[in-house]
Amino acid sequence: MTRLELEALLRTALAKEMDLDPASIHPEDHLKDLDVGSLDAVNLLMTLEDELGIEVDLEDFLELQTVAQLLDFLEQKLPSAS
């Protein structure tokens, strides 16, 4: 999966969870500004784990602050990154 494909997948998942237009989500956006709370993060994490076939530690996940950081984090978790 390319970074562009991963970004598209992440935008879609974030948009679905937060009821937003995917086009309105940008890498520099802070998750806090998108109103992502801890329960939203849990839902998002479950979706991403299912979609990407990865396992993510919730505490690590909750430390991420921006969409770009989330993208980097997921990219590292993907099998191709190892």
Partner 1 sequence: MTPTSNPIAARRVVVTSMGLVSPLGASPQLFWEHLCAGTSGVRRIEHFDASDAACQLAGMVPDWDPGEAFSRRELKSYDRFALLGLAAAAQAWEGSGLADTLAAPHTAVVMGTGIGGIASYTEPYHALYGTPPRPLNAYTIPRIMNSSLSAAIAIKWGLRGPNLTLNTACSSGANAIGLGFQWIRSGQAERVLCGGAEAPITYELLRTWEALGVLVRNRNDAPEAACRPFDEQRSGFVLAEGAAVLLLESLDTAQRRGAPILAELVGYGSNCDARSLTSPDQESVAEAMRLALEDSGLFPDDIDAINAHGTGTLVNDPIEAQAIRSVFGPRSERLPVTANKSMLGHSMGASSALEAVASVFMVQHQRIPPTRNCTQRDPKCPIDPVADGARDARLRAVLSNSFAFGGSNAVLAFTPEPA
Half-sphere exposure of 12 (CA within 13 A, CB side): 9
70 near 56, Cβ under 8 Å?
A: no
User: Is 64 near partner 1 (CB under 8 A)?
Assistant: no
First vs last Cα of the chain: how many Å apart?
A: 13
Query: Residue from 5, 19, 28, 55 that binds partner 1 (CB under 8 A)?
Result: 19
Give the contact letters, 31-50, x = binds to partner 1 (CB under 8 A), - = no: ----x-x-xx-xx--xx--x
Binding site for partner 1 (CB under 8 A): 18-19, 35, 37, 39-40, 42-43, 46-47, 50
